[in-house]
Amino acid sequence: MFVKICGITTQEAADAAVEAGADFIGFLFAESKRKISPADAASIAETIPVTVKKVGVFVNETLENMKRTAEIVGLDVIQLHGEEPSEVAEQLPYEIIKAFPATKEALQKLNNYPCHYFLLDTPSNKRRGGNGITFDWSLLDTLQVDRSKMILAGGLTPENVNDGINKVAPAGVDVSSGVETDGKKDITKINLFIANAKQTKEG
């Protein structure tokens, strides 16, 4: 079971996530209270070991800006969190995570999208992700997809991540607001989330 800690904005939070065993560190380059500049992300990324993948999260960004940011930061993975068509993913020379809202309509598009992983998040009419709300996991019960490519997100916390993994059986989990206190990354919660995620029966 791999774990992605997203919305990293400080060296302290990055260090804590790496030390606790995070497999992916996510930097958000879209409008959000967790948005970070490419320069600041690059400074943090320099300290992240090569065994931990650095993910850049973008929402409907241009190919040129995504490539430029990826080069500045040294990204390993690009996460497309908007309405990006498959042509965009095909033109990016990086591993791709494609986020989909957990709706019946969106879930039907999963198998045809060219990506290394697909991330299932709680639908939102406002800013995407980081809303701290779970979706109805039973929507995935009959979903015919490759679970080895599935990342579960949306409202996960140290308290419910074990339940989510056991019910959905994803390859990995993603968290941002669920390991925060008063809008800032909480070291204790990061440690607990990763420990709980990695002790589930799936790994």
Tell me the CATH number at 14: 3.20.20.70
Of 152, 165, 149, nearest to 197 (Cα)?
165
Q: Which residues are annotated as catalytic?
A: 6, 121
Question: Residue 112 sits in which domain range?
Answer: 2-198
Residue 103 lies in a domain: yes
Question: Is 21 a member of any domain?
Answer: yes
Q: Is residue 182 part of a domain?
A: yes
145-163 burial: b if 16+ Cβ within 10 Å, else e: eeeebbbbbbbbbbeebbe
| Tens digit of pLDDT at every position of the chain (203 positions) | 999 999 999 999 999 999 999 999 999 999 999 999 999 999 999 999 999 999 999 999 999 999 999 999 999 999 999 999 999 999 999 999 999 998 888 888 888 899 999 999 998 755 555 556 899 999 888 888 889 999 999 999 999 999 999 999 999 999 999 999 999 999 999 999 999 999 865 44
Q: How many domains does the chain have?
A: 1
Residue 53 inside a domain? The answer is yes
Q: Does a structural domain hold residue 203?
A: no
